[in-house]
Amino acid sequence: QKEVEQDPGPLSVPEGAIVSLNCTYSNSAFQYFMWYRQYSRKGPELLMYTYSSGNKEDGRFTAQVDKSSKYISLFIRDSQPSDSATYLCAMRPGGNEKLTFGTGTRLTIIP
Amino acid sequence: DTAVSQTPKYLVTQMGNDKSIKCEQNLGHDTMYWYKQDSKKFLKIMFSYNNKELIINETVPNRFSPKSPDKAHLNLHINSLELGDSAVYFCASSQVVVRTGGPHYGYTFGSGTRLTVV
């Protein structure tokens, strides 16, 4: 079993829909949680960063962390075709720089 | 201005050859990494260097040898290439950013080197 599990998709939704992306993890030492967006043939870019449990909002994006359930989510509101990409969750224990990634969810927003 | 740049972007080579990938960052970051992304998009860390010192060395065949001549450069040399080495290799760098709620290691990735072994 992988340390971080993520539904690989693919996921296709119409433009304007709310998208929910999720990861579960098994290592209770993880404290820092990130979401990366990766466009085709590009490197991952940091989208959201959350420390410990709670919610964080940035524009159309909301990241949620529930450490008790070992579950993190990324919500995208008013989805746009430009949001079409692979979304990777990543996490690491405190004080350790090694990131452990999920397998990524491929998202397509249909105009 | 490219923050983390890798060369080459594409590399096609035969089994058994030796090849190198180069990475440079102009962000002034102290830590650099090599990640491997397989065909299913799974990203896995291979190595990490902090100020030219190796700090993470995951279970990687010793055919892979990283070298960091200075903190802005991290190269990856691969000996005796095998078919299973075909993947996209990403270089990344990071620096601690002190924020409310704890330090954050801001990662910046390069665009990747697509290695195909035939």
Residue with tokens 């035939």: B118
Res B47: pLDDT? 92
Beta carbons of A46 and B45 less than 8 Å apart? no
Beta carbons of A99 and B101 less than 8 Å apart? no
Write out pLDDT tens, residues B28-83.
988 899 999 988 888 999 999 988 888 888 878 999 999 999 999 999 999 999 99
Res B102: pLDDT? 59
B61 upstream amide cis, omega within 30 of 0 = no
How many angstroms separate the CA atoms of B34 and A21, rounded? 26
Give the nearest chain B residue to A52 (CA atoms): B101
The residue among A62 and A50 whose pLDDT is bigger is: A62
Contacts of B111 in chain A (CB under 8 A): 41-43
B87: CB partners within 8 A, 6+ apart: B36, B37, B38, B39, B115
Beta carbons of B105 and A104 less than 8 Å apart? no
Res B5: pLDDT? 95
At A99, give phi and psi (nearest 5°). -95, 135
- Residue B84: pLDDT band (50, 70, 90) is very high
Q: What is the mean pLDDT of residues B86-111?
A: 80
Res A49: pLDDT? 87
The partner residue sitting opposite B101, judged by closest CB among A42, A51, A101, is A51
Determine what percent of chain A is predicted with pLDDT higher than 70.
96
Give yes or no for residue A109 having a pLDDT over 80: yes
Res B101: pLDDT? 57
Res A93: pLDDT? 86
Write out pLDDT tens, residues A9-42.
899 999 999 999 999 999 999 988 999 999 998 9
The partner residue sitting opposite B42, judged by closest CB among A98, A103, A106, is A103
- Residue A2: pLDDT band (50, 70, 90) is confident
